[in-house]
A and B are shown apart, each in its own frame.
Chain A
Amino acid sequence: MRNTHITDAEWFRFWQQQLGEEEQTELLAHVCDCEWCSSKMADGIPREWQLTAPAYFKRETVQYVKERTRLQRFFDRRHLQLFTYSLKVGAAMAAALLLLLRIELPAASLPEPGSRENAWIESTVPGQDQQRFSITDFLNDKTSHINQTLNTFSSSFFHKEEINDEK
């Protein structure tokens, strides 16, 4: 990387296309970093190299820049939405996996007999050793109990209605 400014002779050779590939790359790399040389490049374009952009160019360029900017903002917003949605889905999956992996509880983790927790878990049969307990079975038992209670209630309700009708 050169640390000296570009000389007039070098500029002349550049515009005359007389520089080798490496020389030109080095020159241009310096222009990228040097305000003085980039200013000289902009102000020193020879007349024969002063081209005119086509008539459609300004309109197309402004349109292009606006569209790219709009797309960039759109994707930035979409990225944020995708990120938050992914977080939610990830959290839900993690909870589901946790629930599945905790199906089998080891016997040592069961609450002590007589404890408050044990009142909810009818896992032991009197006189028998503690069995391995499943949350799925527990949920099934509780659901069955709730169904049974509902059935009993609805039966008694309809039975009362029948008695009233008969009266």
Chain B
Amino acid sequence: METMVLERMVGQYQNLIFSICYRIVGDYFEAQDLTQETFLAAYRNLGSFDGTNEKAWLTRIATNKCLDYQKQAARRLIPTEDASLHAITDSCSDGTSPPETHYIEKEVRQQLYQTCSSLKPPYNEIALEYFYQERSVEEIAKKHGKNKKTIQTQIYRARDLLRQHYRKEADAV
């Protein structure tokens, strides 16, 4: 029963919480970690939740987690000229979406691709297939002719390497 609630909650709000976390911390994998921590905290405190406005409740938990993360990491989020987005105007002459729509998602994907490609073999291939192409562990294991455990170990290692890369880039900004 509780598992069903958890799966429903994650399925329904993962994009929302991930977006909020990414906006606040600016790191792809840290945003994923914080999103997971958000759902963990929500799951543990389900008993004390009154059931009204679940979306706002999860948003508050996520914001809290991100603030705690920032306090620990002491990261500065003052945007530089390069990092700031251009203001999106509401008026579009032809009614289509402004060109900046989905710009951030594209930028995120592009950065992910570049970072995955920069890893040393065999992690670059594994990272591209799992994190960028979003293939399953079974598919990757079948393709490479390795067992699942080996692939999972390589995925964990690749994730650590990617995190280090992202942190270096964030510190460099």
Q: Which residues of A contact B24 (CB under 8 A)?
A: 28
**Which of B14, B23, B102 has a CB less than 8 Å from the CB of A15?**
B23
CB distance from A27 to the nearest CB of B (A): 9
State in angstroms the CA–CA spacing of A39 and B55 once bound together: 7
**B40 nearest CB neighbor, chain A only:** A65
Q: How many residues of A contact B (CB 8 A)?
A: 42
Task: Please provide the chain B residues from 89 to 138 with a CB less than 8 Å away from any CB of chain A in the complex.
Answer: 97, 100-105, 108, 130-131, 134, 136
**B43→A65 contact, CB < 8 A:** yes
Bitwise interface map of B from 48 to 88 toward A, beta carbon under 8 Å scored 1, else 0:
00000101111110011011001000001111000111011
Contact A39:B84 (CB < 8 A) given known A20-B78, A52-B105, A61-B35: no
Q: Are B79 and A56 in contact (CB under 8 A)?
A: no
Determine the distance from Cα of A43 to Cα of B136 in the docked complex, in whole angstroms. 32
Taking a contact as CB atoms under 8 Å apart, the answer to whether A48 and B100 are in contact is yes
Q: Which residues of A contact B19 (CB under 8 A)?
A: 45, 49-51
- Chain B contacts of A60 at CB under 8 A? 36
| Inter-chain contact B11/A47, CB cutoff 8 Å | no
Provide the residues of chain B in CB contact with A54, threshold 8 Å: 32, 131, 134
Interface string of A35-79 (1 = CB under 8 A from B): 100110111011111111111111011101110110010000000
**What's the nearest-Cβ distance from chain A to residue B60, in Å?**
5
Q: What number of A-B contacts does a CB cutoff of 8 Å give? A: 130
Structural contact, B16 and A42, CB atoms closer than 8 A? yes
Most buried by B among A15, A61, A66: A61
> For the complex, what is the distance from the CA of A20 to the CA of B77, rounded to whole Å?
8
| Residue A17, interface by CB 8 Å | yes
In angstroms, Cα B10 to Cα A31, docked, is 21
Task: Check if B144 is an interface residue, CB within 8 A of chain A.
Answer: no
If the complex has contacts A21-B76, A38-B56, A48-B85, are A65 and B64 also in contact, measured as CB distance less than 8 A?
no
Contact bitstring B1-42, A, C-beta under 8 A = 1, else 0: 001001100110011101110111000000010011001100
Residue-by-residue, is A104-146 near B (CB-CB < 8 Å gives 1, otherwise 0)?
0000000000000000000000000000000000000000000
18 extra interface residue pairs, beta carbon distance < 8 Å, beyond A18-B79, A43-B55, A46-B88: A16-B84, A17-B84, A31-B59, A32-B67, A35-B56, A38-B59, A38-B63, A39-B56, A41-B59, A48-B101, A50-B19, A51-B15, A51-B18, A51-B22, A52-B105, A53-B14, A54-B32, A65-B39
A-side residues, CB < 8 A to B, are: 15-18, 20-21, 24-25, 28-29, 31-33, 35, 38-39, 41-43, 45-58, 60-62, 64-66, 68-69, 72
